[in-house]
Amino acid sequence: MARLAGVDLPKNKRVEVALQYIYGIGRMRAKQICTTLNFDTAMRTDAMTDVDVAKIRDYLEKNGISVEGDLRRDVGLSIKRLMDLGCYRGVRHRRGLPTRGQRTRSNSRTRKGPRKTVANKKKAV
């Protein structure tokens, strides 16, 4: 089983797809890695040798591509910086609301969590 950046790559998947399991590597970057290192497009992770895994590791290191722990830390520190500044985006992060201008009246259930029902006021008779 191939292990890159602390992640076990899934067995019997194309290398191009398996690389996307690493945080920080998407479809385009995975394609770029495979074409640069001259991997066969049909090559599976089962067929990868230790030399192939070492090639990928060296490529990520040489080109300064941050993945997994380093990238997660950088993103977390950026969000923390915004929250410490008290800017609008930081306040939205702190409150757990969307930060990029989406509407919140009818949507954004993912960020806000399950609905919290508020009781109605009784009408005075």
Whole-angstrom distance, CA of residue 89 vs CA of residue 66: 24
Superfamily for domain range 69-112? Ribosomal protein S13/S18, C-terminal domain (4.10.910.10)
* Percent of the chain whose pLDDT exceeds 70: 98
Residues of the chain with CATH 1.10.8.50: 3-62
Whole-angstrom distance, CA of residue 25 vs CA of residue 20: 5
- Strands, E assignment, 5-125: 7-8
What average pLDDT is seen over the chain?
Answer: 89
Confidence of residue 5 (pLDDT cuts 50, 70, 90): confident
Fold of 3-62: Helicase, Ruva Protein; domain 3 (1.10.8)
pLDDT digits (tens, 9 = 90+) for 25-62: 999 999 999 999 998 888 898 888 889 889 999 998 89
* Percent of the chain whose pLDDT exceeds 90: 46
Whole-angstrom distance, CA of residue 57 vs CA of residue 48: 13
Residues of the chain with CATH 4.10.910.10: 69-112
Contact between 94 and 83 under an 8 Å Cβ cutoff? The reply is yes
List, in sequence order, every residue forming a beta bridge with 7; answer none if it has no partner: 4
